[in-house]
Amino acid sequence: MDDVCPQTPPISPTSPSGLLEELEAEFKTGEFRSHAYGSLSGAIQIPTEMYDDMGIPGEDPKWNIFAEMHAYLESRFPLVHAKLTKVTPNTYALVYHWQGSDDSRKPILLTAHQDVVPVEPSTADQWIQPPFSGYYDGEWIWGRGSCDDKPGLISTLTTVETLLSKGFQPVRSIVLAYGMDEERGGRAGATAIRDYLLEHYGEDAFSIIVDEGGGYIVRGDALMSTPAVAEKGKLDARLEISTPGGHSSIPPRHTSIGMLAALIKHIEANPHVPHLNRTSTYYTQLHCQAEHDPLFPPNLKRLVKNSLHCDKALAKLEKELLKSNPMFGPLSGTTQAVDIIHGGVKSNALPENAYFIMNHRIDVLSSVDTVKYHIADTVGPVANSFNLSVDAFGAQYGDLSKEAAFGHLQLSDAYGTQLEPAPVTPTFGSGPYELLAGTIISALSTSNRTDIPKKVFLTPSLSTDTRHYWKLSKHIFRYGHVGREDHYNGAHTVNEACRAEGFLEVIRFHTRLILNGHDSPLLE
């Protein structure tokens, strides 16, 4: 099974000579740690909350907090702002260009985001420390954004600031890009960054992109690192029934809401069926765990090994995972979930319109069209049985016309944001993956922390959120290098906090990534 999940040897920087050793010694000092933790704390104290209804950047005053963030970053990282070229696409997105000595080499792109999800006011008193305090208690740094994604923002800037202070000059250029509305899909920030980078660098211009995403987790006496190399697609489907209205004292046999309920019941009774596929990222992840994870169940290990060449074993493995692993469906297939439902305005009036919106996360081996076909094929017969005509994403379903029907069912893309699954980033045998993997293993295996193992293995995984950058590189990795145990309560929730020692590891990783990558032949 070694050929299914080969592990890269550690890659440690060798040039400039002695610089890594000097930096590692500095990272151990109380002065460096205090300053680094203070930088993250200060960024958390600026409440860059992102709301779905934000207006145009530069016009809506709700964006003004990002100007405060920019001023803070400029004061905290003076060398970055003195020596790198800074651009602000769409007012509050940030791009920094660090010119390398060899323009023939493709640059490295490191990304993160400045914004955070809002804190629900009614939960403020449930926080151990105030949500925008940035309080450091000697172990944890508290506050909204301490997990998502101000560690990525502050770590990359801290790394570059420190390297500049040592007089380091990269061979290939380094670009830092920070969106400002990732938490609503990046429609103002990441899109503007993408357009700027495409205009000034071109398509496939970057040798590697590392964005937020996977991290690492303790598995017995080993650490499992999970850089994400694939992303599911997305479809928010709107299903809207239109029927004649009227007084509720004279109802039809089935109201629009009743028919809507029947459709939902039928949809949930006919989900997308997950399947194992030998070409999928999830299947590769299973093989990596079977080979290297000391906590992987022995019975699954045998099934995984046998399934590589035996279809019967593959089917048996699929059946076992479906029974024992609640994450099997989300990781190996398309998911569907009804999240919004609306209908009616008065208790004695029949609603003319009722609708629901159903979110789909589309398997990497599927497509938007496949999901649309599944929806139409599932609800079409039920709708026709209610004497409803059906428009399935622009095409009539069945023989019942709108003119001849009692009512109508309209299937559509709710927000116009349908998204195909991402191109899968090359892994084993690919130079950029080998560089990332070797850097991760090098950083974790040399950590001074006594609370984590030093044995490390990697497994590719799934993630989200880089869709705007797909044209910039074939080698996109969603990886934040944060340990799961270094999150107090996770992101997007009450008591978000990051363990300070874990944040230091992020800085060590980004430092090694730049030093390894700036002159590496593994990158183009």
By annotation, the residues acting in catalysis are 115, 182
Annotated binding-site residue? 475: no
Cis status, amide bond into 16, omega within 30 of 0 = yes
Both structure tokens of 446: 């040399």
Q: For the beta carbon of residue 382, count every other beta carbon within 10 angstroms.
A: 17
Q: Which two tokens stand for residue 344?
A: 């009616």
Consult the annotation and say whether 221 binds a ligand.
no
* Residue among 517, 520, 437, 512 nearest 477 (CA): 437
Say whether 211 counts as a known binding-site residue. yes
State yes or no: 492 annotated in a binding site. yes
Length of the chain, in residues: 524
| CA nearest neighbour of 426 among 418, 415, 434 | 434
> Do the beta carbons of residue 28 and residue 448 sit within 8 Å?
yes
CA-to-CA dists, residue 321 to 282, 296, 406, 505, angstroms: 12, 13, 45, 34
**DSSP strands (E only) in 344-387:** 349-350, 353-362
Residue 149 is labelled as binding a ligand: no
Q: Which residues contact 379 (CB under 8 A, 6 or more apart)?
A: 239, 263, 266, 267, 390, 409, 411
Is the separation of the CB atoms in 321 and 333 below 8 Å? Answer: no
219 contacts 212 by C-beta, under 8 angstroms: no
What CA–CA distance (Å, rounded) separates 228 from 215?
9
Q: Which residues are annotated as a binding site?
A: 113, 148, 183, 211, 492
Q: Which residues are annotated as a binding site for Zn(2+)?
A: 113, 148, 183, 211, 492
